Structure 1
Amino acid sequence: MGRSERSGERRPSSPRCVGDRDPRRQHPLADPPVAARSPDRVPALREAWQRQGLSRSARSPRAVPLPLSGIRVIDLTRLLPGPFATQLLSNLGADVIKVEDPEVGDYLRLVPPALDDTSYAFAMVNRNKRSVAVNLK
C-alpha cells in the first residue's frame, strides 16, 4: 500500500506477480547445502565410507535391494494385461518365469511390428523374465 503525496491517505499499490522478484535475492533454502549436492564433497563422510570399504557403486540407490527380490512368480498369462502385470512384478525384483504352450506360444508374439521374428510388444512386456515351454497334455 502506498500513500498519496498530497493528502497522506493510503491507496492500494499495484499488484506484484511472483515473477517480479529481484533475481539477485534468493530464498535461503534455494541453494542446497554441500552435503545434499554431493556427499563425496564432504571429507568426513568420504573418509567414513572409505573406512567401511564402501565404493561409490555400493552407495548408489541401485545397490538397495528391490522390494520383491527373492520372490518367484509363475506367469501363465497371455496377451497384454497379464504380461504387463508380471512385468511390473519383475521390475520390483521378482523372479518371473513365463510358461508358454510349446505349439503356439503367447499370442502377443504374433502382433506386428517385429524384428527378427520377435514382436516389439512381446519383448516389451516380457523383459526381465525367464521363459519355459511346457506341454501339459
Structure 2
Amino acid sequence: MNNNSNVLTIGTESTGDLESTKARKEYSVSDLEKHLQKILLNGGKPLANVCDEESVRSFSAKEIKKNGYYYEFGPADKINGWMVSGPAFDAKGILGRLKKVIGKEHWISDNVAKYPKDSRNFIIETVFSTMDEESSDIYSYLCYLNENTKRR
C-alpha cells in the first residue's frame, strides 16, 4: 500500500486569507442564545434551564360540552382531561398560532373558544397542525444555522 496521497487544495496559504478570517465577527454562546430566543420565542424569556429535559412541554386541548361546545387550550399540566396533546416548546406561541386560525368570534377568553356545534375534529386537526408548524419552523431554522455554519 502506498502511504503517499495527493490532496486537492483550494485557495492559498497567504496571510491575506488569515486576516480576512480574523475580520469576521465572532459570536459568543450568549449572542447565539439571544438570537435564538428572539426568533424562536418571539423575544419571550426562555425556561430557566434550557438544557433541561423539561424544556419540551406538552400543549393540549380539552372539550367541555355545556350549552354548546367549549374548547380549552394550554399546557398539558394545567388542563385536566385533555382530548389532544403533543410536544411544544412554547405553549403561548402555539396558542397564538391557534388564534390566527380560529376566528375571533369564537374566543370567549384568552384560552377558551366556543362553538355552537361539535367541532372536535376541526379542533384536533388545528391543534396538531399548529404544533407541526412550530416544529417545522424550529427545524427550518436549525437547518439554516447548519448550512451557514458549514460555509464558514
The structure that is helix-richer by fraction is: 2
Which has the larger Rg?
1
Give the TM-score, by structure 2 length: 0.21
Give the TM-score, by structure 1 length: 0.23
